[in-house]
Amino acid sequence: MGDNMPYFFPEAFAERMKMLLGEAFSAFTSSYSEDSPVSVRLHPLKWKGGLPGDRIPWCSQGYYLGQRPLFTADPWLHGGAYYVQEPSSMFLEQLCRVVWPEKPALVLDLCGAPGGKTTHLMSLLQPGDLLVANEVIRSRARILQENVTKWGIPGVVVTSGDPAAFASLGEIFDLIVVDAPCSGEGLFRKEPRAAEEWSPDHTRLCASRQKRILSEAWKCLKPGGALVYSTCTFNPDENEENLEWLAQTAGASFLEVVPDPDWGIETSVHGKVTGYRFYPHRLRGEGFFAAVVRKEGHGTAPLTSKGSPRNWSPATRREITTLEPWILPGLAGEFLSDGEITTLFPGGGRPLLALLEKRMPLLQVGIPVASATGAHFIPHPALALSTALHRERFPVAPLSPEEAIRFLRKDPLLLPGREKGWILATFRNLPLGWLKNLGNRTNNYFPQEYRIRMTIPHPPPIWHDPLTRSTME
């Protein structure tokens, strides 16, 4: 390899990229001497600050930052005010705008962890829409669940099922997103370790696995429905070739997005396939590929399921009477209970639950509101982080930056002079979780599994504070 070649480029990868890019290969390799861009996607209902940087042109809530801050030190990250996400991946918004159904949609994010595209989809949901966020690997599914909780928008079910389990549901989804596990070639600059693990055999294994995922996903897509396919790799075998196979075997047709020419996104036409390629020498982002396909035909009848969910039944009158004031008035939904947790889920969603629970674990349904202990209800951490919370129903404890970090570490806090009972802990008007003031002490109900474990500088450097931002720019 030439002297200007990044040290972590495997030789076989470099040779293929030379063939793929031609004269642009030199510019491609030069881009790897530059730092990866740092970017965030804001929560449209939670972000209370100013514009944090230059906007990512293909995402309405996406912004570049000048440098990478210590995100862990920011309470707003833990409260779900934004998601740290690679810029190219935010192109999902443009793809969904082309295909999002006008009627209430049933959406599936099949390979959802850690949650970037799931939370993006949650921001795009319209009244009546339902989203199933899935991850087959249970440990990663828990991470997905945490990020869904922090984003806090109702109408989402988190599952941990194999693609084959979804195939057995029949043609029920209007839109499916498959962000497929891949060889990770597009992340070599951001994660050089991905290059160390790369091999031609691994790319072939990935391509085979992706075909299986696509095949199973296609079986649960409605006629007339759309599937968004994406990877973070450059390899045509994992991208265009897989989609060409889907077109030949299943009759998939391709939809055009027409990106703005100034964005630097390359439109790839390969046989019947129209896809979109992101190269780091052409735009501020990592390597990425995406395409949208349509299933021929017309949508089937609305989702129905025989019987009701075994594990989720309508809440009791006592539960409804107690918990309904905790929810914003006018919010459509019903209270369901599994005997331990009472949750808020959009009305009419029980047929979906009945269908899903027969085939896979349901890790979270809607917005968990409370658990019962004797005659009392304990508000759930997910309720504090939810956009459904009726904040005026609870006393509020505004925390300083130092107090917020202590809360997020699950350390004890003292609230002298405050009324006894449940108190909503906030940081700069953003809810973080619950405190229970007992008078002589205060119990911290921040979830153990979410707590900050690393050492945080004092005072905590919060990147969107005007003073901190001035030192970063």
Q: Give CA–CA dist 308/9, Å, rounded.
A: 54
Mean per-residue pLDDT, 57-70: 97
- Establish how many alpha carbons lie within 13 A of residue 348's alpha carbon, considering only the half-sphere containing its beta carbon: 10
Mean per-residue pLDDT, 40-51: 95
Q: Which fold has domain 11-27+86-294?
A: Rossmann fold (3.40.50)
Residues 6+ positions from 186 with CB-CB distance below 8 Å: 88, 231, 232, 233, 234, 278, 286, 287, 288, 289
Task: Give the model confidence (pLDDT) of 217-260 as tens digits.
Answer: 999 999 999 999 999 999 999 999 999 999 999 999 999 999 99
Order of strands across the sheet that contains 341-345 = 313-314, 334-337, 341-345, 367-373, 376-379
Q: Collapse the DSSP code of 205 into the 3-class scheme (helix H, G, I; strand E, B; otherwise coil) and give the result.
A: helix
**At residue 121, does pLDDT exceed 60?**
yes
Q: Give CA–CA dist 82/119, Å, rounded.
A: 10
Q: Which two tokens stand for residue 380?
A: 């759930």
Q: Measure Cα distances from 441 to 217, 380, 408 in Å.
A: 52, 20, 17
Q: Does the annotation count 220 as an active-site position?
A: no
Q: Which fold has domain 305-393?
A: Nuclear Transport Factor 2; Chain: A, (3.10.450)
Position 466 confidence tier, pLDDT thresholds 50, 70, 90: low
Smallest Cα–Cα separation from 10: which of 204, 199, 287?
A: 199
Question: How do the domains of the chain map onto residue ranges?
Answer: 11-27+86-294, 305-393, 394-456
Position 285 confidence tier, pLDDT thresholds 50, 70, 90: very high
Domain boundaries 394-456, corresponding CATH code? 3.10.450.720
**At residue 307, does pLDDT exceed 90?**
no
Position 440 confidence tier, pLDDT thresholds 50, 70, 90: confident
Q: Measure Cα distances from 377 to 125, 275, 321, 369, 443 in Å.
A: 30, 51, 12, 9, 15
Pick 447 or 4 by higher pLDDT.
Answer: 447
Shared fold status for 305-393 and 394-456: yes
Mean per-residue pLDDT, 76-95: 98
- Please report the pLDDT score of residue 8 as a whole number: 86
- Please report the pLDDT score of residue 7 as a whole number: 84
Pick 465 or 60 by higher pLDDT.
Answer: 60
- Please report the pLDDT score of residue 472 as a whole number: 42
Mean per-residue pLDDT, 187-216: 96
Task: Give the model confidence (pLDDT) of 152-182 as tens digits.
Answer: 999 999 999 999 999 999 999 999 999 999 9
- Please report the pLDDT score of residue 470 as a whole number: 41
Position 373 confidence tier, pLDDT thresholds 50, 70, 90: confident
Q: Measure Cα distances from 333 to 155, 348, 366, 388, 430 in Å.
A: 9, 8, 9, 10, 24
The residue annotated as part of the active site, out of 96, 206, 220, 232, is: 232
- Counting every residue written for the chain, the total comes to 473
Q: State the chain's mean pLDDT as an integer.
A: 94
